[in-house]
Structure 1
Amino acid sequence: MSVLPLVFTSGWASGINAYAVVLLLGVFGTTGLSDDVPETLRRPEVLVIAGVLFLCDSVADKIPYVDSVWDAVHTLVRPVAGAWVGALLAGHSGSLSDVAAGLLGGSTALASHTVKAGTRMAVNTSPEPFSNILLSLAEDLGVGGILTFAMFHPTAAAIIAGALLLLGALLLLFLATRIRRYLRRRAQRREERRLAGRGGGPPGWGAGG
């Protein structure tokens, strides 16, 4: 069976939380739930490092503006992780070249990371922190649920991941449009207040009759 759907799904998930992907795949392989996990991902040191970094990610991802800084730092990390996991999966199965799998996993991770980072920047315009926490929890649960589903139904999971990627891109476009309108209105109100403070008004305002 082709490993292509699993590579695509793991790439999508890596763009959201690369450490969760490495940790989950390692756990699946170590516990014997899946024979498709390469030996490299089952190594104890890999699991420990991935677990610690996953905890760091989980904390940083729920703090407004800290999450955007964290995303910026991981602009390179997540696509590289997606490419690395994809190449490992391909090498383990032998049904897809390592290079092709790496390109697929990396590009998919970059696409989902872009959607995630852009959405977080939009959510950070909200004055309350609960949106970040809820969105982060939804992302963590989504990655865990779909990656687990991919172990048993890789094609269906890849379709779901592709649909979520498309919906995320559309949501990001919608949020970006709304934010631009909000910023324009705020700039206009600021300018109106500035003019009012300087006593500005229509020509002839205040002239004697």
Structure 2
Amino acid sequence: MIEALTGMGLSAAAGLNAYIPFLVVALIARFTDVITLPTSLTWIESGWAIGIGSVLLLTEVVLDKIPAVDTVNDAVQTFIRPSMGGLMFAASSAAEEVDQSSWMAENPWVGVVLGVVVSGLVHAGKSTARPAIDAGTLGMGTPVVSTAEDTASVGLSLAALLAPILALVGLVILAFVLVRLVLMMRRWRRRRQGGSSTGRVPGYP
């Protein structure tokens, strides 16, 4: 159960920002004894992996805060975030200090699939809501929302590794917020469509 909560928390964090949970896991594994990655995944905590992840994170943080550019970035991340979610779930479920389930250890593909699904759902909610936020706030809300997402990704990642029960609470809150944003997006689209469909040519009834 603990490894499932940890994996779900990290996967959800990857749905918001693919590189934050990666770096959190990499740095904690490299400099602490909180988790010990299996031999097949020790490359995550290598210097070159941390360096590349840092550059990618910096790029993501900048692009995600620019209106319109963030939508393009989300499209590119459609494949990256779910893949990272699968990797993070697999890494956490296989870590010696986290893994308490022999069944998960014997069926590692389950963790990968769950990670891809959780991360993909979060990414879908984020990328669906962003265009409405960009348009509805004339771009001014974009950096604010992006910063909130990055903060949530950091919080979820740390909670998943250090206090998995808190990660569950964070997942519930995140799901609630994403659903509200998606509903807001749909209402905004309906208003736009309704406004355009009721338009009349001047001089005609």
Q: What TM-score do the two structures reach when normalised by structure 1?
A: 0.85
Using the TM superposition, name which of 160-169 and 65-74 deviates more. Answer: 160-169
1:8 is displaced (CA, Å) by 0.3
Note if 1:166 corresponds to 2:176.
Answer: yes
Aligned equivalent of 2:146, options 136, 139, 149: 136
Note if 1:91 corresponds to 2:94.
Answer: yes
1:33 is displaced (CA, Å) by 5.8
Name the SS of the counterpart of 2:18 in structure 1: helix
Task: Work out whether residues 125 and 182 of structure 2, in 8 Å CA contact, stay in contact via their aligned partners in 1.
Answer: yes
Distance 1:33 1:15 in 2: 26
Q: Deviations over 1:135-173 (max 9, x none)?
A: 011011111122112222112212321331233123312
Task: Work out whether residues 132 and 188 of structure 2, in 8 Å CA contact, stay in contact via their aligned partners in 1.
Answer: no
Note if 1:178 corresponds to 2:185.
Answer: no
Task: Work out whether residues 133 and 139 of structure 2, in 8 Å CA contact, stay in contact via their aligned partners in 1.
Answer: no
Note if 1:125 corresponds to 2:135.
Answer: yes
1:53 is displaced (CA, Å) by 0.4
Using the TM superposition, name which of 56-65 and 148-157 deviates more. Answer: 148-157
Aligned equivalent of 2:155, options 120, 145, 162: 145
Which residue type is aligned with residue 154 of structure 1? P
Distance 2:169 2:117 in 1: 16
Task: Work out whether residues 64 and 132 of structure 1, in 8 Å CA contact, stay in contact via their aligned partners in 2.
Answer: yes
Using the TM superposition, name which of 148-157 and 88-97 deviates more. Answer: 88-97
Q: How does 1:47-66 map to 2 (within 5 A)?
A: 47-66=50-69
Q: What TM-score do the two structures reach when normalised by structure 2?
A: 0.87
Task: Work out whether residues 86 and 98 of structure 1, in 8 Å CA contact, stay in contact via their aligned partners in 2.
Answer: no
Q: Which has the higher contact order (CA 8 A, sep 6+)?
A: 2
Which residue type is aligned with residue 85 of structure 2? G
Give the number of equivalent residue pairs.
195
Change (3 A) 1:151 1:25: same
Distance 2:22 2:129 in 1: 23
1:31 is displaced (CA, Å) by 2.0
Task: Work out whether residues 36 and 89 of structure 1, in 8 Å CA contact, stay in contact via their aligned partners in 2.
Answer: no
Could you list the runs of 5+ residues in structure 2 that have no partner in the other structure?
none
Task: Work out whether residues 12 and 165 of structure 1, in 8 Å CA contact, stay in contact via their aligned partners in 2.
Answer: no
Sequence identity (%): 26
Using the TM superposition, name which of 152-161 and 5-14 deviates more. Answer: 152-161
Q: Deviations over 1:84-129 (max 9, x none)?
A: 1211222234532311111111100000000110111111213533
Q: How does 1:1-209 map to 2 (within 5 A)?
A: 2-32=2-32, 34-37=34-37, 39-93=42-96, 94=99, 95=101, 96=104, 97-126=107-136, 128-185=138-195, 187-188=196-197, 191-192=199-200, 195-196=201-202, 200-202=203-205
Name the SS of the counterpart of 1:62 in structure 2: coil
